[in-house]
Amino acid sequence: MSSAPAARDLANAIRALSMDAVQKANSGHPGAPMGMADIAEVLWRGFLKHNPANPHWADRDRFVLSNGHGSMLLYSLLHLTGYDVSLDDIKNFRQLGSPTAGHPEYGDAPGIETTTGPLGQGFANAVGMALAEKVLAAQFNRDGHNIVDHNTFCFLGDGCMMEGISHEAASLAGTLGLGKLVAFYDDNGISIDGEVEGWFTDDTVARFRAYGWHVIPNVDGHSPQEVKLAVENALKNGDQPTLICCKTVIGFGSPNKQGKEESHGAALGEEEITLTRDALGWHHAAFEVPEDIYQAWNARADGAKAEADWQARFDAYKAEHPELADEFLRRLAGELPATFEQQADDFIAQCQQAMDKVATRKASEQALNAYGPALPELTGGSADLGGSNNTVWKGCKSISAGDASGNYIHYGVREFGMTAIMNGLCLHGGVRPYGGTFLTFMEYARNAVRMAALMHQPNILVYTHDSIGLGEDGPTHQPIEQIANLRMTPNLSTWRPCDTVETAVAWKHAIQRADGPTALIFSRQGLPCIERDDTVLGNVAKGGYTLLQTGEGQPEAIILATGSEVELAVNAARALGEQGKNVRVVSMPSVDAFLAQSADYQEQVLPSAVRARVAVEAAIVDYWYRFVGLDGKVIGMHGYGASAPAGDLYKHFGITAEAVRDAVETLL
Helix (H) or strand (E) holding 618: strand 613-620
Asked if 463 and 326 touch (Cβ cutoff 8 Å), the reply is: no
93-107 per-residue burial string, b: 16 or more CB within 10 A, e: under 16: bbeeebbbbbbbbbe
Q: Mind giving me the DSSP string for 526-552?
A: EEPPPP--HHHHHHGGGS-EEEEESSS
Amino acid (1-letter code) at residue 276: T
3-state secondary structure of 329: helix
Distance CA 433, CA 5 (A): 45
3-state secondary structure of 266: coil
Distance CA 394, CA 391 (A): 10
Task: Report in angstroms the alpha-carbon separations of 97 from 89, 473, 532, 582.
Answer: 10, 49, 48, 53
482-501 per-residue burial string, b: 16 or more CB within 10 A, e: under 16: bbbbbbebeebbbbbbbbbb
Looking at residue 68, the DSSP 8-state letter turns out to be G
Amino acid (1-letter code) at residue 58: A
Q: Mind giving me the DSSP string for 371-399?
A: HGGG-TTEEEEESS-HHHHT---TT--B-
Looking at residue 142, the DSSP 8-state letter turns out to be B
- What CA dihedral angle connects 225, 227, 232 and 234, to 10 degrees? 160
Torsion sign over Cα 129, 135, 139, 144: positive
Residue ranges in 414-499 assigned as alpha helix (H)? 415-428, 446-454, 482-487
Nearest to 488 by CA among 405, 592, 403: 592
Q: How many CA atoms within 13 Å lie on the side-chain side of 359?
A: 18
Looking at residue 565, the DSSP 8-state letter turns out to be G
Among candidate residues 113, 168, 377, 415, the one labeled active-site is 415
To the nearest 10 degrees (0 to 180), the angle between helices 224-236 and 31-46 is 60
CB within 8 A of 666, min separation 6: which ones? 633
Amino acid (1-letter code) at residue 425: L
3-state secondary structure of 53: coil
Q: Mind giving me the DSSP string for 567-582?
A: HHHHHHHHHHHHTT--
Asked if 651 and 471 touch (Cβ cutoff 8 Å), the reply is: no
Q: Distance from first CA to last CA of the chain, Å, rounded?
A: 93
3-state secondary structure of 217: strand
Q: What are phi and psi of 387, to 5 degrees?
A: -70, -25
Annotation says 415 is catalytic: yes
3-state secondary structure of 76: helix
Q: How many CA atoms within 13 Å lie on the side-chain side of 420?
A: 33
**Active-site amino acid positions:** 415
